[in-house]
Amino acid sequence: MTNITLTRRPPGPLHATLLAGSVPLFLGALLCDIAYYQSYQIQWSNFAAWLIAGALLSSGLALLFALAVLIRATRKAGGTTLYVGLLLATWLLGLVNAFEHAKDAWAVMPIGLVLSVAATVLAMAATWAGLTRLQTEVAA
């Protein structure tokens, strides 16, 4: 019988790229929201909507990788659960934000801007947790 131990191991390159990639996408949406808030120029709001869609795709695929890690683990490590929880929260908040950004013109404001701040912070937290706290079982 092999001895199983938990080891911190960063996610694979594709998983890490999708995960970390969602940060600049959410951040870009936030910056576009701020630009729209200050200028009333609708194009910024259009950019924000597409950046959020991109962030959902990127973080959604990362979430699939993360869930795969979680499901395969026989023992649920605290770090992994934290990471998956944060990433799931990011994705759900991003989805609500996408619907919010589907409203017309100024109807996006101010909730869209608030949600973009929250999604950006959550995406950063999820990325930090994913890159530093992900634990994988290894046979010792």
How many residues form the binding site for another protein (CB under 8 A)? 26
**Any contact of residue 98 with another protein (CB under 8 A)?**
yes
**Any contact of residue 104 with another protein (CB under 8 A)?**
yes
Question: How does 119-139 read in b/e, with b if 16+ C-beta sit within 10 Å?
Answer: bbebbbbbbebbeebbbbbee
Q: Which of 35, 61, 89, 124 binds another protein (CB under 8 A)?
A: 89
Q: Which secondary structure element, helix H or strand E, spans residue 136, and what is its range?
A: strand 135-139
Type of residue numbered 97: N
Q: Which secondary structure element, helix H or strand E, spans residue 122, and what is its range?
A: helix 111-133
Question: Which CB, 97 or 135, lies closer to another protein?
Answer: 97
Residues lying near another protein in the complex (CB under 8 A) are found at 40-43, 45-46, 49-50, 53, 85, 88-89, 92-93, 95-96, 98-107
